[in-house]
Chain A
Amino acid sequence: MPVEPDSLAVRICLSLIRVFSVLVPRRYRIDWRHEWEGEFRHRQAATSRRAGAHWRADADLLRHALGALPDAAWLRRQFTADSEAVQDVRHGARMLRQTPSFTFAAVTILAVGIGGTVSIATLLDTLLFRPLPYANEQRVMTLWQRPSTGERDDVAPGNFLAWRERSRSFAAMAAVIPYSYDYTGVGEPETLFGAQVTEHFWETLGIVPALGRTFLPEEHVKGGRPVTIITDRLWKRRFGSDQAIINRTISMEGASWTIVGVLPPEFSPQLLPRPGELSVWTPTVIQDHEKGTRGSAWWNVIARLKPGVTQADAQAEMTTIAAALGKQYPRTNEGVGVQVVPLRDHLMGGIKVPLFVLLGAVLLVLTIGCANVASLLLARGLKREREFAIRAALGAGRGRLVRQLVAESLLLSGVSAAVGVAFAYWVIGVIVALAPPGVVRLQDAFIDGRILAFAAGLTTLTAIAFGILPALQFSRPSRDAMRERSASSSRGSARRVLVAAEVALALVLLTGAGLVLRSFERLLAVDPGFSPGNAVALQVFAWDRHAAPDRTRAFFRETIGRLQALPGVDAAGAVSAMPFANANIDIKSGLTVLGREEKAATEERQVYLTVATPGYFKAMHIPLREGRFIEESDRQQGLAVAVVSDALRRREWPGESPLGRTIRLQWHGQPIEAQIVGVVSPIRHDRLDSAPRPEVFVPLEQFPFASMTFVVRGRGDTKTLVDASKAAVWAVDPLLPFYEVGSVRQMVSASLARQRFIVSLLSAFAAVALALCAVGIYSVMSFATAQRTREIGVRMALGADRSSIRRMVLREGGLVVAAGIVCGLIAAAAATRYIRTLLFEVRATDPLTLCCVCGLLLVVALMASYVPARRATRVDPVVALRLE
């Protein structure tokens, strides 16, 4: 097998060969494939070692690959007698060869449609139907907290324990907690990502290690031996697939951990962030203080349904449990529901609806393509009327003529499908590259037998869609077809209907793309509450290395001092909850406003508590609304201070200023009072379309906390700034690894991946649809004009001037397009309902979008009919009349 990966050209060639090989008689098929593959691989090996124009070699390869089709067809002919069907196909192939430009156009149009549809169908198939690598995977559920106001949330440890104890629907329930380990071996300190899991995690998923065992109960208690299970990737990367790995140790966090198991290679727990990088799994030891933690939620919970229990049963039971918890712990659990989501749905990461929308879009493109090809066939058929008339005169029945035309259609769509499937390989790669991270299973997408069967079905349908109209029309040759020229007005009107339909479909697609594009634009215009500018963020979890409060304070004082002193740095600070970071420590706390009429405990409401240093606000350019930021003078000794976000001010003090008020917060389970000294603008945290958090900022000096993200704003490029910042932190602690590092702008941009995915694909499809439409209008108008040469000549001879001729042609084109637009608007109104969930601050019937789309279509249509119109005015009356 080749050591280097196959180039794109070779991959396309090999897939073409695979498709063509179906034609080859079975007993020669394997040899035949080997022969062609051998040549391609040899050629690749030969050319890859030579420098220079590879594209030329690639083009040659593709040309050669297409030659495999006649070869396969030749072999097939040797073994199949020429039945009528074969005769039809051969005749069809001859006719297609005679009109290469028509064939090329039709195959291109159909291949784009079929290829696009096949690729989206493959992705959907992978996500919806391909089994997950877990035993009885349909029983595996994910469980989430759902606050009455917000979106689904991770789970608090206390709640998990209550759920596990009280629920009866599940055979097993387990929690998994994303975690990172500082690997301090050789070289730069590395962060190994991983997770801690509670007991029964492996049974819940149905995972058996490839080597070794899972965790024992005694490893989940305090003082247990540190053990770990590693992933296949880490095993291969660091331990060279050593079979004797079990009971060897790995050094992390300054301790040595015994490896007790190696996971199977297909294990990829996409339930957590960074699934591809998770490599170390350890047993969690539930701490005493965690048992009562119900406010802060950071655990992920999975559960396996008992046989016979449905998702709805489990959901009903969990809702009851959640309501009971709400009564029991109103402070934290009031209105907090539970959501049971099948693991498979969770893994699709919100990409299911977009993919269905894209499937709809690509089917529209295919339909437009069919209309286009049907229209081309009609035009071509007009030129072949004599041929049909002669065949009919020689005794061919209508059935035979229809069969002949159907065979041609099937042949055309078959060739297109072969090219389309090869094209789909490439499209799938592009889509997977564009797809938002986190939908990991997309990478496993491949075209298998079922998809090929789907493609075959689609091909037949396509052939019927574009072939039926021409077949019916031309199998009934008109009586005067043998004469040199005849006006076939009914055939012209069929083409006009097709073009109007194309315009209508394209309008639907363009409207969809336009709406999504407008939403995206709206989203980009959202103010996140800070300005990313040229800031970089570096996340550290230093709580174990600098645990004691004084150590924490000293560490951040010194690192931030060094960061600020870096050349070109404008401001530097640190924060506990970095907006748009992958993993954050969100601290939640109850909030009581002192001095206000003391209300019942249930009135105490949750807020996000964010620890920050003074430099953070400057580095992020967070606008101040009132009062002041946290300042260097807010030290340990003084009264604790707090800065609140405007979102919290609006909730708690609508219409008044909170400055000078005292609030009570919970800090490590202890109440602590702080005075409000400032209000900053509301900050969005996870996504631009999520509501800003009610947030309280407190100074690190007064609330020491060591899991922080440094934010450094400076001039110069990101990489230099990141490297300099890393060096500055390592100057204080050379063994501290960084968790997430990147520019703030990138982090915000990454949160838009899903929207960007939809926008780019839908726009691409819409552009293809528009182009197809333009081609359709152009070909219909120029054909109609060519047919009317004589009429135009007569008109001109009788005194019509050029502009009136041009107007006449344009009017005709305009009428067709206008009819299409009217139908399209009605269809769009019905269809855009389905993309409502993808829109942001734009209504599905946004008038501006609709106007722009109609305008765009009109302009394109006008341009497409202008060329034929101009040509019409060039008709020389003398020549036109002489044609008679």
Chain B
Amino acid sequence: MSPRLNLTYSTALVLQALSRGFHHGFDIMDATGLPSGTVYPILRRLDREGLLDSEWEEHAEAQREQRPPRRYYEITAAGERMLGDAIARYDSLAKAVASSPRRLKPSRA
């Protein structure tokens, strides 16, 4: 049985969020409104299928904010193609995710 990815609406939402510039697990949850227990398995599945790349954040940057580094996800070209299919299938998808990341970076107080 080949592990074909089932393009569910939730999966499409996550792809959409990635493509709109949300790169971290929690940000994707905020952007899509999906619970963490759904988002993470989707990310792992997308990763396995090569639809996204993941990397660890630069150590120096995390150090500056005095916290451990976060994991960074980025959509691949294959992922973008998949998203194209998805948009064709789900009309409402385009409006479902905010168009640019809401900055949740700590602001300099």
Contacts and interface: CB of A to CB of B under 8 A. Distances in A.
Is A bound to B?
A: yes
Interface of A: 1-3, 31, 34-35, 37-39, 41-46, 49, 63-71, 74-75
Contacts of A63: 35-36
A64 B69 CA distance: 18
Interface in B35-51: 35-41, 44
B41 A2 contact: no
Contact of B71 (A38, A41, A69): A38
A64 B67 contact: no
A70 B104 contact: no
A46 B104 contact: yes
A67 B30 CA distance: 14
Given A67-B37, A67-B38, 5 more contacts: A39-B26, A45-B106, A63-B35, A67-B35, A74-B40
B40 A41 contact: no
A35 B36 contact: no
Report the interface size class on chain B.
Answer: 20 to 34
Contacts of A31: 71
Contact of A45 (B36, B57, B67): B67
B26 A69 contact: no
A41 B39 CA distance: 19
B104 A43 contact: yes
B70 A35 contact: yes
Contacts of B106: 45-46, 49
Contact of B66 (A3, A65, A71): A3
B102 to A, nearest CB: 11
A49 B71 CA distance: 22
B25 interface: yes
A39 B70 CA distance: 6
Contacts, number: 75
Interface string B52-85: 0000010000100111111100000000000000
Contact of B105 (A2, A46, A70, A71): A46
B62 A38 contact: yes
A44 B67 CA distance: 9
A67 B40 contact: yes
Given A67-B40, A71-B40, A37 B105 contact: no
A49 B107 contact: yes
A336 to B, nearest CB: 60
Interface string B80-109: 000000000000000000000000111101
Contacts of A39: 24-26, 70
Contacts of A38: 57, 62, 67-71
Contacts of A35: 25, 70-71
Nearest to B65: A45
Contact of B37 (A1, A3, A44, A66): A66
Contacts of B62: 38
B29 A42 contact: no
A42 B27 CA distance: 11
A69 B37 contact: yes
B68 A41 contact: yes
A3 B104 CA distance: 19
Contacts of A37: 68
A43 B70 CA distance: 11
A2 B37 contact: no
B1 to A, nearest CB: 12
Nearest to A51: B109
A422 B29 CA distance: 24
Nearest to A35: B71
Nearest to A71: B40
Contacts of B35: 63-64, 67
Interface of B: 24-26, 29, 35-41, 44, 57, 62, 65-71, 104-107, 109
Main secondary structure of the interface of A (DSSP, over half): helix
11 contacts: A2-B66, A35-B25, A38-B69, A41-B68, A42-B65, A42-B70, A64-B35, A66-B36, A68-B40, A71-B37, A71-B41
B108 to A, nearest CB: 9
Contacts of B37: 66-71
A601 B11 CA distance: 96
Contact of B36 (A46, A49, A71): A71
B103 to A, nearest CB: 9
Contacts of A67: 35-40
B41 to A, nearest CB: 4
A65 B29 CA distance: 12
A70 B43 CA distance: 13
Q: Give the most central of B38, B68, B69: most A CB within 10 Å.
A: B68
Residue of B37, B38, B39 with highest tally of chain A CB at under 10 A: B37
A1 B70 contact: no
Contacts of B26: 39, 42-43, 64
Given A35-B25, A63-B35, A64-B29, A42 B40 contact: no
Contacts of B104: 43, 46
Nearest to B3: A78
Contacts of B57: 38
A565 to B, nearest CB: 51
A41 B67 contact: yes
A66 B24 CA distance: 18
Given A66-B37, A67-B35, A67-B40, A49 B67 contact: no
B27 to A, nearest CB: 9
A69 B70 CA distance: 19
Given A38-B68, A42-B26, A42-B70, A64 B105 contact: no
B92 to A, nearest CB: 24
A67 B37 CA distance: 4
B36 A64 contact: yes
Contacts of B66: 1-3, 45
Nearest to A38: B70
Nearest to B41: A74
Contacts of A3: 66
Contacts of A70: 37-38, 40-41
Contacts of B65: 42, 45
A41 B24 CA distance: 13
Contact of B67 (A2, A66, A69): A2
A289 B70 CA distance: 70
B33 to A, nearest CB: 12
Contacts of B44: 71, 74-75
A583 B29 CA distance: 59
Contacts of A41: 67-68
Nearest to A3: B66
Contacts of A43: 26, 104
Contacts of B69: 34, 38
Contacts of A2: 66-67
Highest count of chain A CB atoms <10 Å: which of B36, B65, B66, B104: B36
**A2, A46, A63, A69 pick with most chain B CB within 10 angstroms:** A46
Nearest to B103: A46
Query: By CB atoms of chain A within 10 A, which of B26, B62, B67 has the most?
Result: B67
The 4 A-B residue pairs whose C-beta atoms are closest, nearest first, are: A67-B36, A67-B37, A70-B37, A71-B40
B96 to A, nearest CB: 20
A31 B36 CA distance: 17
Contacts of A71: 36-37, 40-41, 44
Nearest to B70: A38
Contacts of B105: 46
Nearest to B62: A38
A624 to B, nearest CB: 64
A45 B39 CA distance: 22
A617 to B, nearest CB: 58
B67 A42 contact: yes
B10 to A, nearest CB: 13
Contacts of B38: 67, 70
A41 B62 CA distance: 10
A2 B65 CA distance: 8
Contacts of A75: 44
A341 B67 CA distance: 47
Contacts of B71: 31, 34-35, 38
A68 B36 contact: yes
